[in-house]
Structure 1
Amino acid sequence: MDGENGQLHIFFFPYLAHGHIIPMTDMARLFVARGVRATIVTTPLNSLFISKAIAKRKTDPDNRINIKTIKFSSAEAGLPEGCERADSIPSPALAIDFFKATEMLQEPLEQLLLEENPNCLIADVFYPWANDSAAKFGIPRIVFHGTGFFSLCAAECINLYEPYKKVSSESEPFVIPNLPGDIKMTSMLLADFVKSDGETDVKKLWREAKESEEASYGVIVNSFKELEQAYVDHYCKAFGRKAWHIGPVSLLNRDNVEKVERGEEAAIDEHECFKWLDSKKPNSVVYVCFGSIADFTETQLKEIAIGLEASGQNFIWVVKRSKNEIQDKEEWLPEGFEKRTKGRGLLIRGWAPQLLILDHESVGGFVTHCGWNSTLEAVCAGVPMVTWPLSADQFYNERLVTQVLKIGVAVGVKKWVRVVGDSIKWEAVEKTVSRIMVGEEAEEMRNRSKKLACLARQAMEEGGSSYSDLNALIEELG
């Protein structure tokens, strides 16, 4: 315990990407609601975005979250000034430079650990050196992954057993060995660095991350037991890891203000968005969003537009244009598209208040890249999914949604592509959107989704599985 009233003090150190910062900020709020003192460590530009999300709670003395900033050495790493978050990396070729820049955060973090003397460091998996930093001050380091148990287990099994080496072609399916559920994949859906024999920069980072996870005090996971029970057990028993499931943390955001303040400034007025959604029947709108990193070509955007129009469904489509293209050039939209879909379609160019939209009763489906936050938010909203993974853990999350939970259908992506989307034709968009929105199959998926949404809420309530796991962790650290 630290000296301040014997109160447990935890440092939260998220990786510099929306998909890591947002859940870890929610997580810090979850801890302070139990009387823990929390400090979030981040860089100056990201601190603005975090302080907005927690501003509402600053007035409550019991719910104070401190934010400490440390300098991010963009220029020294060969990055443009102000490039402090993954979505601001100008080119995929600079991603490894961004990782290297994060290594320079070690010294300033340790300076803060010395000054603040916390009891525990919860640091993102992409800071493998955080174990050493915590050890210097004799405190435990807990790893935060930003994904669920299913994908942690699947990735570990593929790493251990290398099933991709036992098939005759990249497109031949294999069953992931020693993973419950008879889950099939192909090696085309695996990242190049996973399959490469030599040690690339990226492979080195993943190896170091894995080693630091194994040597850490344990792992904290934004998930709940009832969603992936078999994989919670498998992760802890088969791999001998210590883990706590404390989610879904997004359920902390109960009122509309909290939902809107989470993340960037929304590109649409919440009242305008609500008014549009209120005018639609329950379960009649499909929400289309691919996260903050994915980047589609004009050709692919046009296919999505044609597919959405052909589906005949109401839709909200969040479009993130390429950083390298002029924002107001919109040749990618089919001629007359907005006119023909007026009243039926709503385009949001930029950041959308996703929680607010998914939780609205008129939304009945979600076309998603299967990032873990988006997947979990859809589960909490009881909304079936069209899965359109691109990279990272997204192909594993797709398997969980379509093969295990059976609350979604795959659009048909055949290849791991990092950032720029695979070429999916409009017919596949039309077909899969219709499958999750109308008919008996859609109804069955929606019913399963709604049951999971109830279980998610129960997990977070007093006495629930996630509530109890968080209590157990706080007690252990205390």
Structure 2
Amino acid sequence: MSSDDLHFLIIPLMCPGHLIPMVEMARLLSHHSVTTTIVITPRNVHRYGAILHRAIASGLPLKILELPFPASEHGLPEGCESVDDLPTFNLSKNFFDACATLQKPLEHLLAANEVRPRPGCIISDKHLPWTADVAKRFGIPWVVFDGMSCFTQLATHNLCGSKVHEEVEDDSDPFILPGLPDDISMTKSQLPGLFNPGSGAKGKEMKSVREKIRATELGAYGTLINSFEEMETRYIHEFKKLKQGKVWCIGPFSNSNKSDLDRAQRGTEDTIITNHDCTKWLDSQPDRSVIYACLGSLTRLTPPQFIELALGLEDSQSPFILVVKGGTRTQEIDKWLDVNGFESRVKGRGFLIRGWASQVLILSHRAVGAFLTHCGWNSTIEGVCAGVPMITWPQFAEQFFNERLVVQVLGVGVGVGAQRVMHLGEEDEAQMQVKRVDVCRIVKMVMDDGEEIRKKAEYFKEMAKKAMEEGGSSQVNLTMFIEDIRQHTNKGVVG
């Protein structure tokens, strides 16, 4: 079977940080003459359809399989088809339960031979363990996409095996992460939910979901990673040994966007006006002078913590872009912005974006000199690709792992001082972690004295670019992955 005969079925988790890279991965695979079908829901077709339809119109063998999402049947608001649509993270389990109901209609289509040609591989987000059952039923290799780094993968594997974190008496006591190429210390309070579920009932409920995901992913045929060999070489090497070589780093996906239109519409097609205004403002700023501050699509700072961030940026005297997101508390934040007079005081020096920001487009602008980030993996690798120093403020999930990679392994960032995970849904009970003085101090340090960090950031930017070029490490890995599946399919091995 040639690549022209191969068909990959891609099933993403409906959440911006997971959907965006899988849309880009689908396009990457189709560029290699592999028929690629992405399973997606109606609202998300609208949200990400511009890029997908543009790729299809260009002649790429890319297809969209649209499945209705049963939101209301699972206690979710009508039209809630993505994690960032949830009015409260207390509905997270409802959302995952609704996702699992997509299994039957998908199996029906596969059994009726309506997904053609027959898929030779199912690539799914690891957070959808039911897709493993679909693959097993139809004898198709099941490959997981993990939107995390190999650093995180290796650290997670070693903690699951050693359970060294369980021996730590105080949540704030540092301990060395076992079995890593570098000596990296963490505290239990900085670990992701698999090891540190929080004290709330919903956190404990989600712990069982995470444990099922972890148990299921261990049986995957292989793993695809949005990373590149030159960035985390030793960690990739060690993780590959654990997985008998069935690990393919084929990123960074964000570098596959060749036009400004694709970069602008990665998260939504409704940002054109904001993009234009933001770009126009950036054009008026000196080179490397602007701080871009965005703490992710799911991060929901409490109003007091947001205020500290905003005032710290104001005190720094640097030009800045601040993405305003507060979830259900956005109205409260907007009221403070208005009453406090913040926007009028920083007018001309500060640019506020409400809602979705075209991050890759902004980071690539010559005026951006640093990136204040929550260290989600997409943002982390996008910061690396842009070659800008990062100011790290991890919030939840594996983000403290990513901070360690950025600050201690790569040396391309500086931490702002966050000490513990902010459990989703428990933000209001959390103590204030970062003050305006911390934000101001670190911003000045990076902008005034960050030349060494900037040199390292530029180096990894070049490595990221080369990885995605013809003959680059990620291009080679993608070819090897396709060839592996082709040979597996030809042998008729049941996945």
Q: Normalising to structure 2: TM-score of the pair?
A: 0.91
By how many angstroms is 1:375 displaced? 0.4
Contact 1:120-1:477 at 8 Å conserved across structures: yes
Structure 2 partner of 1:88: 85
Letter paired with 1:9 = H
In 2, distance between residues paired with 1:192 and 1:352? 27
By how many angstroms is 1:26 displaced? 0.4
Letter paired with 1:206 = R
Deviations 1:271-330 (A, max 9, x none): 322221111111100100011111112211211111001111110111013325537942
Structure 2 partner of 1:149: 150
> SS where residue 122 of structure 1 aligns?
strand
> SS where residue 331 of structure 1 aligns?
helix
Contact 1:164-1:195 at 8 Å conserved across structures: no
Structure 2 partner of 1:330: 335
In 2, distance between residues paired with 1:325 and 1:251? 32
Structure 1 residues 384 and 429 mapped into 2: Cα distance closer, same or farther (>3 Å)? Answer: same
In 2, distance between residues paired with 1:241 and 1:303? 46
Structure 2 partner of 1:297: 302
Of the three residues 475, 482, 491, the one matched with 1:474 is 482
Contact 2:391-2:443 at 8 Å conserved across structures: yes
Structure 2 partner of 1:104: 101
Mean Cα deviation higher: 5-14 or 319-328: 319-328
Q: How does 1:56-67 map to 2 (within 5 A)?
A: 56-61=54-59, 63-67=60-64
Letter paired with 1:340 = R
Is the counterpart of residue 425 in structure 1 residue 432 in structure 2? Answer: no
Structure 2 partner of 1:176: 177
Of the three residues 306, 310, 315, the one matched with 1:310 is 315
In 2, distance between residues paired with 1:50 and 1:339? 34
By how many angstroms is 1:268 displaced? 4.5
Is the counterpart of residue 74 in structure 1 residue 75 in structure 2? Answer: no
Of the three residues 432, 436, 440, the one matched with 2:446 is 436
Structure 2 partner of 1:341: 346
Structure 2 partner of 1:130: 131
> SS where residue 58 of structure 1 aligns?
helix
Mean Cα deviation higher: 50-59 or 265-274: 265-274
Structure 2 partner of 1:359: 364
Deviations 1:359-415 (A, max 9, x none): 001101001010100000000000111111111111110110011111111111111
By how many angstroms is 1:456 displaced? 0.4
Q: How does 1:17-32 map to 2 (within 5 A)?
A: 17-32=15-30
Of the three residues 107, 110, 118, the one matched with 1:113 is 110
Contact 2:4-2:35 at 8 Å conserved across structures: no
Of the three residues 245, 248, 258, the one matched with 1:244 is 248
Of the three residues 256, 259, 262, the one matched with 1:255 is 259
Structure 2 partner of 1:40: 38
> SS where residue 391 of structure 2 aligns?
strand
Contact 1:73-1:101 at 8 Å conserved across structures: yes
Structure 2 partner of 1:187: 188
Structure 2 partner of 1:221: 225
How many residues get paired? 473
Q: Normalising to structure 1: TM-score of the pair?
A: 0.94
By how many angstroms is 1:210 displaced? 2.0
Structure 1 partner of 2:276: 271
Structure 2 partner of 1:201: 205
Structure 1 partner of 2:454: 446
In 1, distance between residues paired with 2:147 and 2:375? 12
Mark the runs of 5 or more structure 1 residues left unpaired by the alignment: none
In 2, distance between residues paired with 1:343 and 1:361? 18
In 1, distance between residues paired with 2:173 and 2:58? 57
Structure 1 residues 222 and 400 mapped into 2: Cα distance closer, same or farther (>3 Å)? Answer: same
Contact 1:222-1:246 at 8 Å conserved across structures: yes
Structure 1 residues 350 and 6 mapped into 2: Cα distance closer, same or farther (>3 Å)? Answer: closer
In 1, distance between residues paired with 2:276 and 2:103? 43
In 2, distance between residues paired with 1:247 and 1:65? 19
> SS where residue 80 of structure 2 aligns?
coil
Structure 1 residues 242 and 112 mapped into 2: Cα distance closer, same or farther (>3 Å)? Answer: same
Is the counterpart of residue 407 in structure 1 residue 412 in structure 2? Answer: yes
Letter paired with 2:483 = E
Mark the runs of 5 or more structure 2 residues left unpaired by the alignment: 487-495
Mean Cα deviation higher: 112-121 or 380-389: 112-121
Structure 1 residues 127 and 337 mapped into 2: Cα distance closer, same or farther (>3 Å)? Answer: same
Is the counterpart of residue 210 in structure 1 residue 224 in structure 2? Answer: no
In 1, distance between residues paired with 2:435 and 2:332? 24
Residue identity (%): 41
Contact 1:386-1:408 at 8 Å conserved across structures: yes
Contact 1:299-1:332 at 8 Å conserved across structures: no
By how many angstroms is 1:6 displaced? 5.3
Larger RCO of the pair (alpha carbons < 8 Å, separation 6+)? 2
Of the three residues 41, 51, 54, the one matched with 1:53 is 51
Deviations 1:170-212 (A, max 9, x none): 1110000112211100011124552479994323222222222
> SS where residue 195 of structure 2 aligns?
helix
Mean Cα deviation higher: 309-318 or 201-210: 201-210
Deviations 1:440-478 (A, max 9, x none): xx1111110010000001011111110000000111112
In 2, distance between residues paired with 1:348 and 1:72? 30
In 2, distance between residues paired with 1:328 and 1:412? 23
Structure 1 residues 304 and 399 mapped into 2: Cα distance closer, same or farther (>3 Å)? Answer: same
By how many angstroms is 1:267 displaced? 7.4
Letter paired with 1:91 = T
In 2, distance between residues paired with 1:82 and 1:458? 41
Structure 1 residues 422 and 15 mapped into 2: Cα distance closer, same or farther (>3 Å)? Answer: farther
Structure 1 residues 172 and 121 mapped into 2: Cα distance closer, same or farther (>3 Å)? Answer: same
Contact 2:192-2:421 at 8 Å conserved across structures: yes
Q: How does 1:153-172 map to 2 (within 5 A)?
A: 153-172=154-173
> SS where residue 323 of structure 1 aligns?
helix
In 1, distance between residues paired with 2:437 and 2:221? 49
Structure 2 partner of 1:462: 470
In 1, distance between residues paired with 2:369 and 2:391? 11
By how many angstroms is 1:352 displaced? 1.0
